[in-house]
């Protein structure tokens, strides 16, 4: 049984691996988990961005290392796992945040674009987790956080492959929880609403569209990246040890209306 810190939200002594950490939600997760005490391993394609974020975290008193990798290339998966374990000796938390949204109309989707989207958004999260489970199982504790979407439940224009991948994430999260929770590894997903990231730039660059989605929420605004900090730390910590297999919408009440 893993020793629990007196503060169940503390991540002191834990190590988190965050994919898609070059910007947006992944970078924000890295900052939040580091602020809660975790050492963080940053993974993404743009190594210069990772280096900047690692330096930012170190300058704030945290511990961070990074690895440039293209997760759409299956040959990089074991490299990511091996390097992550070598940095701090363990991985307790896996944030599967890397993803792609090509925004293609259904008529324009090709087998290649379909495979890229489903591969990065759905296949990679499972197989990275599978490779890290032995390390987590050895200590009887671990946390996996997948990233779902509003499109896990709703259809949006030009999102057929992306929506299929994110619908799959909700079921994948349940299935991973069923497979591994008895080993002490819980698996949950966050489903963000509209937040300012590179993937949502087309929304935030269009004032009319941005306002439309803000008005659709119960709160009356789109998300700010800091709105994700609390749920990320919570799902990564002992405070959520009896929560698994869930998809939690962080959408300002978008799906409530």
Token output for 178: 């069923």
From the candidates 66, 162, 242, 249, give the one annotated as an active-site residue: 162
What pLDDT does residue 195 have? Answer: 92
Hey, what domains does the chain have and what are their CATH numbers?
15-252 (3.40.50.720)
Q: Is 137 exposed, middle or buried (CB count within 10 Å of its CB: 0-12, 13-18, 19+)?
A: middle
242 is catalytic: no
Query: What pLDDT tens digit does each residue of the chain (257 aa) get?
Result: 455 568 999 999 999 999 999 999 999 999 999 999 999 999 999 999 999 999 999 999 999 999 999 999 999 999 999 999 999 999 999 999 999 999 999 999 999 999 999 999 999 999 999 999 999 999 999 999 999 999 999 999 999 999 999 999 999 999 999 999 999 999 999 999 999 888 788 888 888 989 999 999 999 999 999 999 999 999 999 999 999 999 999 999 999 98
Distance CA 132, CA 125 (A): 11
pTM, entire model: 0.94
| Angle CA 166–170–175, to nearest 5 | 130
């Amino acid at each position: 049984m893993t020793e629990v810190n007196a503060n169940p939200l503390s991540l002191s002594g834990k190590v988190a691996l965050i994919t898609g950490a070059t910007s947006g939600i992944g970078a924000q997760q890295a900052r939040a988990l580091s602020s809660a005490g975790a050492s963080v391993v940053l993974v993404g394609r743009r190594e210069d961005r990772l280096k900047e974020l690692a330096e930012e975290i170190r300058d704030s008193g945290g511990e961070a290392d990074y690895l440039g990798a293209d997760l759409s290339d299956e040959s990089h998966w074991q490299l990511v796992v091996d390097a992550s374990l070598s940095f701090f000796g363990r991985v307790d938390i896996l944030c599967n945040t890397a993803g792609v949204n090509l925004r293609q109309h259904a008529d324009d989707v090709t087998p290649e674009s379909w495979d890229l989207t489903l591969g990065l958004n759905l296949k990679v999260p499972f197989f990275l987790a599978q490779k890290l489970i032995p390390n987590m199982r050895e200590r009887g504790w671990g946390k996996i956080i997948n990233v779902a979407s509003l499109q896990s439940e709703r259809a949006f224009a030009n999102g057929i492959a992306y929506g299929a991948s994110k619908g799959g994430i909700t079921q994948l999260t349940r299935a991973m929880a069923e497979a591994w929770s008895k080993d002490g590894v819980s698996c949950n997903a966050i489903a963000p609403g509209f937040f300012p990231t590179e993937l949502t730039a087309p929304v935030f660059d269009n004032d009319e569209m941005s306002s439309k989605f803000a008005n659709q929420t119960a709160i009356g605004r789109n998300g700010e990246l800091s709105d994700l900090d609390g749920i990320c730390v919570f799902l990564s910590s002992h405070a959520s040890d009896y929560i698994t297999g869930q998809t939690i919408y962080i959408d300002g009440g978008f799906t409530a209306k």
